[in-house]
């Protein structure tokens, strides 16, 4: 399954797979960002290709497949349903008076959601939220947050996906929501850059190509971006999820 990198007007598409529709949507969005750069959630439209099946005792199981389409930013946004989640009802002001601005309300929702996730995992953490012009950033600080981060940030990515869906529901001024824990994303990104540099050194010593271990679409994108300005190196992604990996190739003169 390959990403569609051909533009049709302002359109870009990518497909994702997963054990559930949520996992497939997360993978599709990440792969779309891999080819199109950073995307806003309200610019992406998801289409279910296959809902997947657990099969019978593992026999006949099929993964869920979802297509993510980057829409023209001028397309009108669909109507947003009234929030029904308990936490949203609890955070909605009941006293008479002017409506709060989107940014403070979004921060309140984000903090409440992260507190509930941390509590459900039995973790104690301080949540620091920073509101920038383009993003709403939340960093969790505490002891032993490995469970919140997950293997190679998988749980962190899943929580971030949910926050992007929920936090700005019904609010104006939507921003990208970024979730981090103990600066994991910066540390992971730096380790991926070092990994890419070591692979390039091996290629320049004589190998025609170097195959990295399978990684998520978001991590593959870090590798591609880190090496994209080199004239002597090319990168590509090969394989099917969850075994898709980056191949680093030396450009022959």
Sign of CA dihedral 70, 72, 74, 78: negative
Q: How many domains does the chain have?
A: 3
Q: What is the pLDDT of residues 211-251, one digit of tens each?
A: 999 988 888 889 999 999 999 999 999 988 778 899 999 98
28 domain residue, yes or no: yes
List, in sequence order, every residue forming a beta bridge with 46; answer none if it has no partner.
Answer: 68
d(CA 180, CA 103): 19
Q: Which helix (H) or strand (E) holds 14?
A: strand 11-18
pLDDT of residue 39: 66
CATH label of the domain that carries residue 121: 3.30.300.20
Give the pTM: 0.56
CA 190 to mean position of chain CA atoms: 18
Confidence of residue 77 (pLDDT cuts 50, 70, 90): very low
- State whether 115 and 152 are in the same domain: yes
Confidence of residue 49 (pLDDT cuts 50, 70, 90): confident
Confidence of residue 180 (pLDDT cuts 50, 70, 90): very high
80 domain residue, yes or no: no
Radius of gyration of the chain (CA): 20
CATH label of the domain that carries residue 208: 3.30.1370.50
Surface-to-core class of residue 138, CB atoms within 10 Å of its CB (0-12 exposed, 13-18 middle, 19+ buried)? buried
- State whether 145 and 196 are in the same domain: no
- State whether 175 and 103 are in the same domain: yes
Given a cut of 80, whether residue 194 has pLDDT beyond it is yes
d(CA 104, CA 216): 32
pLDDT of residue 88: 45
* Portion of the chain with pLDDT greater than 90, in percent: 34
Contact 148, 159 (CB under 8 A): yes
Query: Residue 244's domain spans which residues?
Result: 186-250
What is the chain's percent helix, strand, coil content, to nearest 5? 40, 25, 35
Parallel, antiparallel or unpaired: strands 233-238 and 245-250: antiparallel
Given a cut of 60, whether residue 4 has pLDDT beyond it is no
219 domain residue, yes or no: yes
Q: Residue holding tokens 């930013």?
A: 73
23 domain residue, yes or no: yes
pLDDT of residue 244: 87
| Mean pLDDT for the chain overall | 78
Give the CA distances from residue 39 to residues 97, 150, 156, 169, in Å, rounded to whole numbers and listed in that order: 35, 24, 18, 17
d(CA 177, CA 153): 16
- State whether 167 and 113 are in the same domain: yes
């Amino acid at each position: 399954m390959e990403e569609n990198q051909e533009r049709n007007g302002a359109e870009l598409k990518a497909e994702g797979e997963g054990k559930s529709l949520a996992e497939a949507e997360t993978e599709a969005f990440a792969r779309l960002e891999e080819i199109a750069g950073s995307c806003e959630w309200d610019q992406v439209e998801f289409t279910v290709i296959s809902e997947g099946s657990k099969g019978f005792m593992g026999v006949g199981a099929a993964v869920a497949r979802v297509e993510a389409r980057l829409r023209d930013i001028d397309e009108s946004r669909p109507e947003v349903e009234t929030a029904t989640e308990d936490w949203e009802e609890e955070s909605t002001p009941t006293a008479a008076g002017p409506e709060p601005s989107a940014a403070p309300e979004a921060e309140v929702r984000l903090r409440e959601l992260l507190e509930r996730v941390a509590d459900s995992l039995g973790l104690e953490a301080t949540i620091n939220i920073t509101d920038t012009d383009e993003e709403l950033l939340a960093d969790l600080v505490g002891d032993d947050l490995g469970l919140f981060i997950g293997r190679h940030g998988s749980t962190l990515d899943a929580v971030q996906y949910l926050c992007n869906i929920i936090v700005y529901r019904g609010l104006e001024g939507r921003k990208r929501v970024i979730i981090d824990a103990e600066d994991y994303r910066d540390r992971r990104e730096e380790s991926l850059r070092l990994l890419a540099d070591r692979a390039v050194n091996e290629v320049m010593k004589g190998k025609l190509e170097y195959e990295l271990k399978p990684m998520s679409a978001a991590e593959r994108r870090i590798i591609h971006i880190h090496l994209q300005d080199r004239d002597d190196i090319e990168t590509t992604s090969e394989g099917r999820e969850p075994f898709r990996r980056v191949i680093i190739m030396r450009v022959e003169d």
